[in-house]
Homo-oligomer: A and B are copies of this chain.
Amino acid sequence: MNQTKRPYQTLSSHYLWQSQWYNLRQDQLRATDGAELTYTVIEKPRAVWIVPITNEGELVLIDQYRYAVDAWCLEVPAGNVEPGHTPEQQAAQELHEEIGGQAGQVVPVGEFYTMNGICDEVALVFLAVGVTLGEAQREPTEHITLRLVMVDEGLDMARSGQIKDGPSALAIVLSEPAIRRYLKEQQA
């Protein structure tokens, strides 16, 4: 089977709704067997998730109220990549805005799709090391408190379902090898 082949041809495309956050796009498709179908895609910019580690070997989590799920969630800083920004610049900006953080270094560790059945979002994961904390500059809709845990505890929390924000939990898991390398270098 040739898996590079797209099973659909896009016949037409129009927007049902547009906003600064995301758009709802509806496409008319033709499948390889000739059948036509409608598919709706949430069109969203790429976003960055940043796993912040201090020089003391702590993971910086944020406890954030999320209106969509009406719950406080443990997360790592994250945000959409704004036009004109590289993902690295956006990562540094989110770190600054959400936790008042400055990183010694920001390194890419991987990427994934957050909801590939309905949305085109790509999550770009960064590890920020040597993070120092300062005054956060949050948006009015961001209700956040900081929670610092040792790296091993944070990894356990991510792997055991205690971090209910899926993309944050996966971002932490994906960062583990890079975190271990950093902590080892720091000790050397």
Contact = CB atoms under 8 A, between A and B. Distances in A.
One complex includes copies of this chain to the number of 2
A23 B119 CA distance: 14
Contacts of A67: 8, 27, 29, 39, 41
Contact of A165 (B3, B110, B112, B141): B112
Interface stretch (A85-93, A94-102, A170-178): A170-178
Given A65-B7, A68-B42, A165 B31 contact: no
Interface stretch (A69-77, A126-134, A179-187): A69-77
A139 to B, nearest CB: 10
B176 A141 contact: no
A41 B141 CA distance: 14
Interface in A157-179: 158-161, 163-167, 169-170, 173-174, 176-177
Interface string A106-129: 000111111111111111000000
Nearest to A40: B19
A92 B24 CA distance: 31
